[in-house]
Structure 1
Amino acid sequence: MKKPGEVFADASVYDPGIEAIVPRYDELHDTILNAPPHDRDEPVSVLELGAGTGELTTKLLTRFPESEVLAVDHSDRMLEQAERKLATFGDRVALESGAFPDDYPRADGEYDLVVSSLAVHHLDEAGKRDLFDDIYDSLAPGGWFINGDVIRFDAPHLETLSGDMIENWVRSKGWEESEFMDEWEASDDYDDPSTLTDQLVWLRESGFEAVTSIWQYYNFAVYGGGKSE
């Protein structure tokens, strides 16, 4: 049985598959990597929630060569892929099996940066608000949370527009549309995206400062905020 985030039964096809589902996937990742205030050469303690196959993890460890990353995911299939992909980084990365907000983050104030990509939208409103509270508590003073994720529009016609855009994107990548969209829609049972506006409000209510949306393309957005010094 699939878990949230396991869009494909075979995790080995997740990387090419997600690029066919998520328009401007690399651009979304680049925004997450560019948004933190940290210099590239400073040691950064990072917690990644919903690390999947370790694609963003790889980019984080490369972008911040003095960083250490704790990468968390609840899918053993994904973590097996991530372990192979991240082996070259040695003890700079640790992989943990766990869910959020139940298992991670822990309120220890030790992380300079918490990131997530295409994972938080699996939580309902209460889950997101609990997660934002926990992330805030897990950050060191001056730390930041950056999330790249699916969002929901209040306007039905914009939801339709976004769905059409994704189907066109899938076709442009040369995938068989009907088979691919069946796989994609099968994962919708676990999806509960919230509006961007609501999530920015919830971040402020959790205590974050400088809360902002950084990037958006239709129903995909990168947003976050920081903890005061």
Structure 2
Amino acid sequence: MHSGKDAIYSQPQQVSKFRFDDAVADVFPDMIQRSVPGYSTIVDAIGQLVGRYATDSSNIYDLGCSLGAVSLAAARYIEAKACRIIAVDNSEAMVDRCERNVKSYKSNTPIDVICDDLTNIHIENASSVVMNFTLQFIEPSKRNAIIQSIYDGLAPGGIFILSEKLRHDSPQGNELLIDLHHEFKRRNGYSELEISQKRESIENVLRAETFDAHQVRLKKAGFDDVVLWFQCFNFASIVAIKN
């Protein structure tokens, strides 16, 4: 997945609401590597988890697939027979590029790429469902219903993998994690202007919750076990297991 360098916020500008448009899609791999600590580790481990829990003739859903990194990682690790990966994103710009990435990759597990709102997707016969930094962009009032539909569509023994930017319980702890994240971005070459303009752009688009809030929602939906398997600063990934 080749991409240009992310310079979207490098010049002073009238900052508009963050959108997954052509400009973002063109630089997305660079943007996410320089902005999300541990992103490559998360994606590869998600592929391993999907492969571990895949059962013959089951579906794997990648909800908010962006350019298809998780779907391609899953395809590398799936050994179960007759599985199907269903990759969904509501951004046409992302889906166009995802389809190209999928076409250039030879896999025994087919990947279907769909441009639609994930709330329109009926989850069924799933061994795994993944939302890799997706739920945080969805209206909080819709989140319970989405998680419940995922739980209901998972087969017993299936897993739901949820990666999210977290908010810490206390203002002091939250500011510390934000500061550490901003320092991570500085060390990856982002300027103060880029950091502040991106923060302004994404502020009311990405609505982070605490780990406890996620855990309560997952348990309420019916998940038996909720495992925080990765965290670096305010970025985390959770695997919820349906027994």
TM range (shorter): 0.7 to 0.9
Q: What do residues 102-140 of structure 1 show as CA deviations (whole Å, max 9, x unaligned)?
A: 212x15x31111011111112243322111101011112
Question: Partner residue of 2:162?
Answer: 147
The corresponding residue for 2:89 is 73
Residue 12 of structure 2 corresponds to none
Amino acid at match of 1:85: N
In the alignment, which of 70, 83, 95 is matched to residue 56 of structure 1? 70
Cα 1:181–1:6 change in 2 (3 A) is: farther
Q: How does 1:163-202 map to 2 (within 5 A)?
A: 163-202=178-217
Give the secondary-structure state (helix, strand or coil) at the position aligned to 2:23.
coil
Give the structure-2-normalised TM-score.
0.82
C-alpha distance in structure 1 between counterparts of 2:191 and 2:198, whole Å: 11
CA offsets 1:39-73 (integer angstroms, 9 cap, x no match): 67966520010000111211111122554210000
Shift of 1:167: 1.6
Q: Is residue 94 of structure 1 aligned with residue 109 of structure 2?
A: no
Q: Is the 8 A contact 2:46 2:73 kept in 1?
A: no
CA distance in 2 between counterparts of 1:8 and 1:164 reads 29
Q: Which amino acid aligns with 2:60?
A: V
May I ask how many residue pairs the two structures share in their alignment?
A: 225
Q: Structure 1: any 5+ residue segments left out of the alignment?
A: none
Query: Aligned in 2, Cα 1:195/1:7: closer, same or farther, shift over 3 Å?
Result: farther
Cα distance between partner residues in 2 of 1:56 and 1:138: 20
Matched residue of 2:66: which SS? Answer: coil
Larger Rg: 2
Residue identity opposite 1:103 in structure 2: N
Tell me how far 1:163 sits from its aligned partner: 1.7
Matched residue, 1:20:
34
Contact 2:21 2:93 in 1 (8 A): no
Query: Shift of residue 215 of structure 1?
Result: 1.6
1:110 and 1:226 map into 2 onto residues whose CA distance is 15
Unaligned runs of 5+ in 2: 1-15
The CA distance in 1 between the partners of 2:241 and 2:38, in whole Å, is: 25
Who is 2:61 aligned against? 47
Give the Cα–Cα distance (whole angstroms) in 2 for the partners of residues 77 and 137 of structure 1: 30
Distance 2:21 2:199 in 1: 6
Of the structure 1 ranges 140-149 and 83-92, higher mean CA displacement relative to structure 2 is found in 83-92
Amino acid of the residue matched to residue 46 of structure 1?
I
User: Offset at 1:89?
Assistant: 3.8
Give the match for residue 43 of structure 2. Answer: 29
With the length of structure 1 as denominator, give the TM-score of the two structures: 0.87
AA paired with 1:183?
Answer: K
2:7 corresponds in structure 1 to: none
Is 1:162 equivalent to 2:177 in the alignment? yes
1:11-57: CA deviation from partner (whole Å, max 9, x where unpaired): 11001111111111112223323445836796652001000011121
1:218 and 2:236 correspond: no
CA separation in 2, counterparts of 1:7 and 1:185?
17
Aligned-pair Cα RMSD in Å: 2.6
Separation in 2, partners of 1:79, 1:65: 26
Q: Look up the match of 2:8.
A: none
Tell me, in whole angstroms, the C-alpha distance in 2 between the residues paired with 1:5 and 1:140. 34
Secondary structure at the aligned position of 2:189 is classed as coil
Matched with 1:131 is 146
Range that drifts further, 197-206 or 59-68: 59-68
Letter in 2 for 1:73: D
